[in-house]
Structure 1
Amino acid sequence: MSAIDTIRAIPATRPAGIFETIAATLRHWAEVRATRNELERLTDRELSDIGLTRGEIERVARGI
């Protein structure tokens, strides 16, 4: 069984400079991509076991 952490947030503790904002955006994009790739590797049965369908992968990966 796979465990996937789908809750990832970009902390907003202080005003960030442009480079910090870009770096945070790139990190977030990479995490969404990694989550999407891991979920897409699962079989339909495995997705069903964790309560997901293929159509929900993008929503879950983006944390919507």
Structure 2
Amino acid sequence: MASIDTHNPLLGPADMAGRIGSVLTAATRVATDWQETRRTHKALSALTDRELDDIGLTRADIARVSRRRW
């Protein structure tokens, strides 16, 4: 009968906690980035075409700028 050794001394409880922490940190970062993108998009969308022109943007630029993709 074959058996699988699932005990790996390199992957102890501390490592598992670190991985969980990393996942939570990444999820928090994604949520924060999404919220900032949404806020920026909303603020730029509230500007008039003239105000956007004053800062060198058009309505077509709003999505790209709010996602920080230059």
TM range, smaller chain:
0.7 to 0.9
- Percent sequence identity over aligned pairs: 42
Q: Could you tell me which runs of 5 or more consecutive residues in structure 1 were left unpaired when the two chains were aligned.
A: 1-14
Offset of residue 39 of structure 1? 0.0
Structure 1's consecutive aligned runs of 4 or more residues displaced over 2 angstroms after TM superposition are none
Letter aligned with residue 30 of structure 1: Q
* TM superposition score normalised by structure 1: 0.75
Please report the RMSD computed on the Cα atoms of aligned residues, expressed in angstroms. 1.4
Offset of residue 54 of structure 1? 0.1
Offset of residue 17 of structure 1? 0.6
Task: State the distance in 2 between where 1:63 and 1:46 align.
Answer: 19
Q: Could you tell me which runs of 5 or more consecutive residues in structure 2 were left unpaired when the two chains were aligned.
A: 1-18
* TM superposition score normalised by structure 2: 0.68
- Larger relative helix fraction: 2
Letter aligned with residue 48 of structure 1: D
Match of 2:34 in 1: 29
Q: Greater relative contact order: 1 or 2 (C-alpha under 8 angstroms, separation 6 or more)?
A: 1
Offset of residue 49 of structure 1? 0.3
